[in-house]
Amino acid sequence: MKNSLYDYIIVGGGIVGLSSAIEVLRRFPKAKLLLIEKEDTLAQHQTGHNSGVIHSGIYYKPGSFKAKFARQGSRSMLDFCQTHDIEHDICGKVIVATKPEQVPQLKDLYQRGLQNELNVSLISKQELMEIEPHVMGLEAISVPGAGIVNYKQVCQQFGKLVIAAGGEVRLGTKVTAVRNRHDRVEVETPGGAFSARFLINCAGLHSDRIAQQEGSNVGLKIVPFRGEYYEIVPEKRHLVKHLIYPVPNPSFPFLGVHYTRMIGGHVEAGPNAVLAFKREGYRKTDINLRDLAEVAMFPGFWKLAGKYWREGAQEMVRSVSKAAFVRSLQELIPEITAEDLVPAPAGVRAQALKSDGSLVDDFHVVPGTRCLHVCNAPSPAATASIEIGKYIASCVSTA
């Protein structure tokens, strides 16, 4: 097969790769762009295994990419869904303090919401009961702008737009090697080699490996954290009217197990956050020795484990014990029982870890020569994808 020369190659057909493709083609309409995805369909990994929430941006540090892109991105996502007739529901959410010691944290979070210029309000126990009659809380934040969508459906539409704009999408094509030549970047796949003047790495759980193959030292390792879910049986769905979240642990990047109404009408509870022994390890029994050894040999991992061993142990317990999972959920809805919950498919988050043991909190894009590596795009990157795509398009050099 001949080695065709493209202006841009994007690795990864998740929501970030697709939105980047759209925005690059919008900025450079004459560019020749190829998006390469190893799976046979788009959005098979993080994007297709998430909670489907359109986050408003309350949690994120003011001024961060996450705060800015979630706020703008939730509006862009809403516009996109309206324009392309994609089912969505701005159902609103509550963040609930269930213990007295959580009330100051709840108030801090409320202040953060105001700093991020969001429409949020503090509500009393009585007001909470009116919105969510089955939730037991002391005080809560109401976030009426939060909503839900199926991000797989969004990606199907993104894919159509990439092709309509002249882009090429190759599914079932795994990038196995990347070489940065003096005037182009070459990617190797089982179906042949492809070259481009510029490479955009949106490989999610494998983004650090693509960067390494290209020769960039991004100084971090992707650590996979599985998020396990239960689904509420149909007869008990009425217990959840909107989206119900706990007050998150401020030093932990995950939001705590919550209740989410999903597009399609079902209700999910979760996710927890346990170390996955395989980058795409959706089952507890999935192990990949290379993935595991890489994590174990990365010095940052042991520093992280030393710092968060207590939280990590709690998450492990919740993973192996349904009773422990249910106890966490009962903090929000006391009447939920183990019989009301059936296991649902898990997701795996790609979380970048630095060698000093700190988790990369914000979205993190590392520029190289003729390439850009999206090295950390965790939640709310699905919500923020359109704005991330615009940012990436503004960073790439002209074709």
Contact 228, 271 (CB under 8 A): yes
CB of 22 to ligand FAD, least distance (A): 13
Cβ proximity to ligand FAD: between 139 and 388 the closer is: 388
Interface with ligand FAD, residue 75, by CB under 6 A: no
CB of 161 to ligand FAD, least distance (A): 15
Interface with ligand FAD, residue 17, by CB under 6 A: yes
Of residues 129, 162, 122, 171, the one with CA closest to residue 143? 122
CB of 343 to ligand FAD, least distance (A): 14
CB of 206 to ligand FAD, least distance (A): 4
Beta strands 371-376 and 121-124: pairing type?
Answer: unpaired
Main-chain dihedrals φ then ψ at residue 178, nearest 5 degrees: -130, 130
Q: Which residue is nearest to ligand FAD (CB)?
A: 14
389: helix, strand or coil: helix
Cβ proximity to ligand FAD: between 110 and 254 the closer is: 254
Interface with ligand FAD, residue 56, by CB under 6 A: no
CA dist., res. 118 & res. 56, Å (int): 7
Of residues 206, 200, 210, 116, the one with CA closest to residue 389? 200
CB of 30 to ligand FAD, least distance (A): 25
Sign (positive/negative) of CA torsion 18, 369, 66, 209?
positive
CA dist., res. 336 & res. 322, Å (int): 12
Cβ proximity to ligand FAD: between 102 and 376 the closer is: 376
Cβ proximity to ligand FAD: between 206 and 278 the closer is: 206
Cβ proximity to ligand FAD: between 120 and 154 the closer is: 154
Work out which of 24, 146, 218, 382 binds ligand FAD, going by CB under 6 A. Answer: 382
Q: Applying CB under 6 A, which part among 109-117, 238-246, 375-383, 390-398 lies near ligand FAD?
A: 375-383
Interface with ligand FAD, residue 46, by CB under 6 A: yes
Sign (positive/negative) of CA torsion 384, 109, 102, 121?
negative
- Helices of type H across 62-206: 65-83, 103-115, 125-131, 151-164
Work out which of 22, 25, 35, 47 binds ligand FAD, going by CB under 6 A. Answer: 47
Q: Applying CB under 6 A, which part among 31-39, 191-199, 233-241, 364-372 lies near ligand FAD?
A: 31-39
Of residues 51, 36, 9, 357, the one with CA closest to residue 185? 9
Interface with ligand FAD, residue 359, by CB under 6 A: no
Neighbours of 107 (CB within 10 A): 15
Contact 281, 287 (CB under 8 A): yes
- Site map 281..320 versus ligand FAD, x via CB under 6 A: ----------------------------------------
Interface with ligand FAD, residue 349, by CB under 6 A: yes
What DSSP assignment string belongs to 262-282?
A: -TTS-EEEE---EE-SSTT--
Interface with ligand FAD, residue 224, by CB under 6 A: no
If phi > 0 it is left, if psi is from -120 to 50 it is alpha, else beta; for residue 90 that is beta
Binding site for ligand FAD (CB under 6 A): 11-17, 36-39, 43-47, 49-53, 55, 174-175, 202-206, 227, 271, 347-349, 377-383
